[in-house]
Amino acid sequence: MDLLYTPRQEAFRKEARAWLEAHVPPEPLPSFDTQEGFEAHRRWEAELHAGGWAMVPWPVEYGGRGGDLFEWLIFEEEYYRAGAPGRVNQNGLFLLGPTIMEYGTPEQKARFLPPMASSEEVWAQGWSEPNAGSDMANIQATALLEGEHYVLRGQKTWASRGAYAHWLFGMFRSDPGSSRHHGLTFLLVPLDIPGVSVRPIRKLNGKAAFAEIFFDGARVPVGNRLGADGQGWEIAMATAGFERGLMLRSPARFQSAAHRLVALYRETLRSGRPVDPGVRQRVARCWMEAEAYALNTYQTVSRLRAGGRIGFEASLNKIFWSELDVRMHETALELLGVRAELLPEAPASQGVGDWLDGYLFALSGPIYAGTNEIQRNIIAERILGLPRK
């Protein structure tokens, strides 16, 4: 691993910084968990795409920039530095995109990747069901083959941005006699076809960010199947690897939060408000851990470039970033004192409300992308080789 950037990478950083400085909206967009904010974020994605920045590591023919994963990391650093909007199509771009790249046919790549890159089509992830969260192998929603179509029945839940998304990627039981992780198939499902109904669910912050999705005889062409019939579990595990191990939460997100935390600490000292000496240590620790996560990610990318694959260590990664996120926000709330109770909409929040909003979301980090208890089970069994019972 070479810790120095090449002249080419430095030039790439300069180009990305200049573009972002010229294009990032000066005011934050409304939350993408509202209809208005969802559309505003799609317009931003269209602008990113037109500039060639939608997905740095994807081939140009699919709407990417033809860069590599190092350039993607550099772009992410510049993206967060510029305070650019959240990525409304992250489930598509960061999870499904790499999966289609690996398992899709040439026709599927040509059909699905370009409108994903431009966010003309926004994707939701449809894995969880009321009785299949941590126990994902208990999926009950079915997709039974009838001629050239799969006929879908059952329910998915907790689909992020499912209330507004256009498509869903999900796992369905295609072999009715199967159990557990056998007989599952990975399907790409339009959400506007007959037999699909979407019911929004409100989040802790009151916004309709999730949806539960019901299937009652919806017909999906066989061509929308990723991989083979019954290969769903294997493909979903590859998606989960990208999600936990690399793409979903790039280090820049935490480095930028750490910088904001240090700034908040300095501002608190300047204001003369009393600060517990232990908080100083915690601020420094958060900053160091964000840097450590960045170095670890650069190492992962070096390994991938040398032909490696993401394995069970993705679980270590997921625990690290999700718990760091909670610690950073808790530390910020402690520094803010009574101001910690202000949400961004509060007239007196003066920019500090994002910490409470971020904290509420950080609390879900140890739950989504597979709970941290489940990640600890995976580490125990698959990395440490401990007995299952």
Active site residues: 243
Minimum CB distance to ligand FAD, residue 121 (Å): 16
Q: Are 63 and 48 in contact (CB under 8 A)?
A: no
Cα–Cα nearest to 99, from 47, 51, 171: 171
> For binding to ligand FAD (CB under 6 A), which residues are involved?
125-128, 133-134, 158-160, 364, 367-368, 370-371, 373-374, 377
The candidate with the shortest Cα–Cα distance to 58, out of 49, 45, 68, is: 68
3-state secondary structure (DSSP) of residue 213: strand
The DSSP 8-state label assigned to residue 156 in this structure reads E
Asked if residue 234 lies in contact with residue 184, where contact means CB atoms within 8 angstroms, the answer is no
Dist. CA 265–CA 277, nearest whole Å: 11
State the Cα–Cα distance between residues 76 and 136, nearest whole angstrom. Answer: 31
Residue 259: other Cβ atoms inside 10 A: 14
Locate 266 and state its tokens: 């300095």
* Distance separating the N- and C-terminal Cα atoms of the chain: 39
Q: What is the phi/psi pair of residue 342, to 5°?
A: -90, 130
Burial environment of residue 215 by CB neighbours within 10 A (0 to 12, 13 to 18, 19 or more): buried
Dihedral over Cα of 85, 88, 89, 90: its sign: positive
Spatial distance between the Cα atoms of 152 and 188, rounded to a whole number of angstroms: 12
Residue 226: its H or E element: strand 225-226
- What would the DSSP string read from start to end of 18-83? HHHHHHS-SSPPPPTTSHHHHHHHHHHHHHHHHTT-S-TTS-GGGTS----HHHHHHHHHHHHHTT
CA distances from 370 to 259, 274, 319 (A): 28, 39, 10
